[in-house]
Structure 1
């Protein structure tokens, strides 16, 4: 009997030893500012590091992956952070990624002058419950369009990018790389986040709560080094970097990829006092931010 118990115990211990640890699961939607993560995945650097990266289509889907427990960390803007912070009070930015400087935009099939004059209902296609909703509000305020009748349609950015050119007044809220197909069909850009008169900033980061930061301390430190390494590779050889991430860019060619990079500012290494104060004004805590490592890896 004792021998059987001992064998059973040894079997259980062996089984536990052979069971791989739960991986750090990160969810990221397609966005030019998240390409370092896709580059890391495509280079195979996550193998053996107990880290999984899952890419999804939309900001909302990305946020929901975290909300239902299918991800331990997620990429997003300050808007998605604030939504999830209500249910996860210890949620914080862990890695800073980029600041949108033109990468998020409102597009339309009419110009601003015609838009101001029209008395017809205006169809607005955007991803509701995302930062796109806040961008549209800022656009309406900037252009004094509060008296217009808007008809809102909730759609993910990939589906929006496939919309045909419409005859009725139409506005689209989107971001790179989903804008290029729309431009090719005749939609024009009306405003973007590079406009200094637009009282709106979009910060992208990786978020996790205190428990997961502790449980996956080793994995987050590895990821921190890999993000620095990916950004180093991007600055050193953008063409090689592009070859690894082009499948995440909705068919964007190399020339358009370089143009897209101009619409964001990499903020991975920014820790100056003024910038950190700006983050805090946006409601983003800075205490849990991992220290940037040297990109010369």
Structure 2
């Protein structure tokens, strides 16, 4: 039976909308970070116009704890985290794969105290720390190297956006923190008792992605990789301009930004792939060591399954 004109029009409209839906572009990847110099190439890439905002949307949160919560809740597609935080996600049953290494910390993570000379001086004192993120691991490692355990200090749970105020107001005697808060507290008379140089290659920062996106949205992930390394190259070629831009966001002087970046190692594209995929994989070895330490110290419920921990290398091509 022939369709009446109105029915025919409605059917054509429905088919047209359906076709538009099939051909509509993917929404931008939602990439979440907290404030950390090692993540600044992302924001510099956006400022320089390298990062296409309809392909990747940057979401800056106040702390690593907030980033983790947002990823767990499905509000983010890609997140900037430390290696131990990636293990915490997988320990909690949240699917996450390593896309790339942003940096390794060589002094940019630290324990800053009001006074003292060594970590042992923290015995019986109030220490502010993000208990469910890197801070818990840093404090555990620092104490263990002095033969102490966490029961010998008074732990005060603080997210990183609370560190500076709590320290300056005297609500804590020390904080386990990182740049740019580290530099600002040192400028205000803080004393550094410990930093990540004492545990080389243990504090690794990453971009972590939901595994299903590697298959469903590979071009956006490839774009993200490309603009990251383009931005890193710009920092090396134009350090004064790059540091000036970063100084505003980090609330540091350009010279402090330079010093903060000196506490990091940012691998280039080739080195990044080598650290992840070359046998034996440096990153997998460190993940295994970290897995064991976190398990022994009850920071995770048990050894984390590290199979398929990295995205397939083909995404880099």
Above 0.5 in TM-score?
Answer: yes
Q: Which position in structure 1 is the counterpart of 2:110?
A: 105
Between 21-30 and 266-275, report the one with greater CA deviation.
266-275
Q: Following the alignment from structure 2 to structure 1, what is the Cα–Cα distance between the partners of residues 196 and 116?
A: 18
Q: Unaligned 5+ residue runs, structure 2? A: 289-305
Deviations 1:84-131 (A, max 9, x none): 113556521112110111111111112135x64687x31010111001
Q: Following the alignment from structure 1 to structure 2, what is the Cα–Cα distance between the partners of residues 55 and 123?
A: 29
CA contact (8 A) 2:214 2:315 kept: no
CA RMSD of aligned residues (A): 2.7
Q: Following the alignment from structure 1 to structure 2, what is the Cα–Cα distance between the partners of residues 53 and 147?
A: 36
| TM superposition shift of 1:169 | 7.4
72, 77, 83: which one aligns with 2:82:
77
Compared CA separation, residues 15 and 172, structure 1 to 2 (3 A): same
Say if 2:315 is the partner of 1:288.
no
Q: Which position in structure 1 is the counterpart of 2:256?
A: 256
| TM superposition shift of 1:166 | 6.2
Instruction: For residue 207 of structure 2, give the secondary structure of its aligned residue in structure 1.
Output: strand
Say if 2:163 is the partner of 1:160.
yes
How many residues align? The count is 288
Compared CA separation, residues 232 and 2, structure 1 to 2 (3 A): farther
Q: Following the alignment from structure 1 to structure 2, what is the Cα–Cα distance between the partners of residues 232 and 88?
A: 36
Q: Unaligned 5+ residue runs, structure 1? A: none
Compared CA separation, residues 12 and 248, structure 1 to 2 (3 A): farther
Compared CA separation, residues 248 and 275, structure 1 to 2 (3 A): farther
TM-score (norm 1): 0.86
Between 27-36 and 161-170, report the one with greater CA deviation.
161-170
Say if 2:174 is the partner of 1:171.
yes
Q: Following the alignment from structure 2 to structure 1, what is the Cα–Cα distance between the partners of residues 61 and 150?
A: 36
Compared CA separation, residues 35 and 13, structure 1 to 2 (3 A): farther
Deviations 1:9-35 (A, max 9, x none): 433344452765322111111111101
Q: Which position in structure 1 is the counterpart of 2:70?
A: 65
| TM superposition shift of 1:142 | 0.9
CA contact (8 A) 1:77 1:131 kept: yes
Instruction: For residue 54 of structure 1, give the secondary structure of its aligned residue in structure 2.
Output: strand
Compared CA separation, residues 275 and 133, structure 1 to 2 (3 A): farther
